Structure 1
Amino acid sequence: MTYPVALTIAGSDSGGGAGIQADLKTFQERGVFGVSALTAVTAQNTLGVQRVGMVEPALLKAQLDSIGADFQPTAVKTGMLGDSFTIEQVVQAIDAYSWTTVIVDPVMVAKGGHTLLEQEAIESLTQLLLPKASIVTPNVPEMELMTGLKIEGDSSARKSMEALLKSGVTAVILKGGHRTGPLATDLYLDQSGREFSLSTPRLATHQTHGTGCTFSAALTAELAKDHSVEAACTVAKRFIQAALQYPLSLGAGHGPTHHAAYRVYGQGEGEKQDAQAPILHYGHVR
């Protein structure tokens, strides 16, 4: 049996809570071997992003070619891409190496408000990369930027998901962390019309740095193991809920999520699910 390999194409977070660092920690926790291609180096901590340096396209291409020549990742995720040149290199590699399971986390703005994707690159993301994506995992602000639609309730959320599907992406998971209410509900919709939602109790915490990276990395790891979309989404939701429920409380700002919490606190497969476990609903996303 071949050990599953997952590839992350993202930026480095010197604070260790997001980006490449979060992805590789999550891959390890979920039992897949993580390989990586670095798109950017950031100087950041829980207080914000102080500086960003993009990796030149030729060096990014060399990283992707090195992976493609020697590994066979069964799932690929993208995180911070930064600019159009980077997106173009990633799309070329996806085509060249026939990477078919591609999870796009459209990282646009850091927790502290620093812009991580140039405005002109949003067009490249939607026109070039999303048609290659198996699943795209935006939060509400990212969805609004990509579609130009304001999300104020379930109806507008549904319309925005339908609009994004027109870009060619196979499926959308609209994360519920930026919405309000007692439950944090993620909505899934794909090209076939299949839809479901996943809800967990909303937690009042500032220990949220890297939540998007961690969720999408957990989803990528499960798909790399050839699990179903429903099973992968459920594990990813449980994984991030545990990471938020049992904080490390590091730093003076938005602290990092606890990547080992799902395992350490007995929320892995075979364990009894506690009150924080997600509720899976099938049927119409209203």
Structure 2
Amino acid sequence: MSASSLAGWQRVPQIARRMLERFAWVAPRTQEDAERFALLGARTILPAGDIKTAAAALPVDQAMLDTLRTKLAGRSIFLAASTHEGEEEKIRQTVENLSADYPEILTIIVPRHPERGHAIAQFFPHAAQRSQGQFPTGKDTVWICDTLGELGLFYRLADYVFIGNSLPGVKGGGGGHNPFEPARLHCAISTGPLTQNFTDAFALLGPSVATVTNGNELAAWVKRMHTNTDLKHDAMDHAKKAASVSMQLIVTLAARILHALKT
């Protein structure tokens, strides 16, 4: 219920009230929506929640996941997920910073558009590329995973995740990507400040998601997570709990719909 829709219905309040009084219940997307429906006469209003944020965890090829866990055993995984043009150069700063102190950390870069793999390789000339069937060696610090449909695989491997399309200077102005995907898979999460396409989702996850503005700040965050296990697990647990709230919304709505069908 947008502000303009509210204003329109308020011009015919009796019609709005008679219509909404016939609803068994209203499931508002936000608390602001709930207040607007109440103003118009809705009687039973459920707790706010957006079903667009509720989805199953991303799928995974279990055999490949098992293979990679074996190949990468002993490595900590930092994942730069869904990166866009203008971000990989900053992630190179992150990698250089991390490698100096923690060479056991492997950075996996998954570009939003896999065809950019070759361009990204210019920043990391010795990195293995998944599109070429290459795997990182024990000494590699970067793996470019320029493939489609495998974020579920890499989120399950990752200890720490940066969500791309969010750093200042990103081509297109940024906007972020869906933070619930890594949250559901129990990741520690960071993002740049440009998250306007997923404002509500990031607000729900709150302080469990760190905000960074450049490569060095991103490296500092990874180091904090890497060296402070309690801090990392607190961030992971908070994010997963917040994401699970949206899943409970589906359960609640389904139960109410089934009850209505029986009565």
Report TM bin, short chain: 0.3 to 0.5
Would you tell me which structure has more helix in proportion to its own residues? 2
Larger radius of gyration: 2
Would you tell me which structure has more strand in proportion to its own residues? 1
| TM-score of the aligned structures, taking structure 1 as reference length | 0.33
